[in-house]
Amino acid sequence: MNNDSSSAPATQLTTEYVMSYLAPLDPPLAIDEGMMIVNVRPGGWVKGPNITGEFIAPGADWLRIMPSGVFRLDVRGLIETDDGAHIYISYNGIIKNSEESAERLNNGELLTDKDIPYFIAAPTFQTSSEKYSWLNEVQTINKMVEIQFGEAGYVKYDVFIVR
């Protein structure tokens, strides 16, 4: 056993771009002050070097609002690729809004990753498709690109494999 008390990491993380996607969102439904549910509407798009498709029903985000104001994501969705495969996506994540970004989001303004202090999620995928089976074997990270609530709501992410 190595008793090295160094605070330096023993490993390194790298990322590899997988895809970007845009998921159309219904307006949030407030359950109480601690939870909103945001339905994912069919459509949008999924595009990457080895995948193209769109979202189909069912899908939603059960968004917990913590006493600190931090949002905790609990998202489940379904992607249908352009060649007919079905890929289940689920992820948890954290959104740390500022007072200003929370107000702007609730007012239906378009926000980018520059507007929200922290918005990261960690998707995993599940599919029976041989072509996309590589997604079953990796952990990915979503970085929010854009988000808007309201009638024309959507969220856009870039997705990276973590290695």
pLDDT band at 6 (very low <50, low <70, confident <90, very high): confident
Asked if residue 50 has pLDDT above 70, the reply is yes
Q: pTM (2 decimals)? A: 0.93
Asked if residue 37 has pLDDT above 70, the reply is yes
Domains recognised in the chain with CATH numbers: 15-162 (2.40.160.20)
Asked if residue 2 has pLDDT above 80, the reply is no
Tens of pLDDT, residues 61-77 = 999 999 999 999 999 99
In terms of Cα–Cα distance, which of 143, 134, 142, 138 is closest to 163?
A: 138
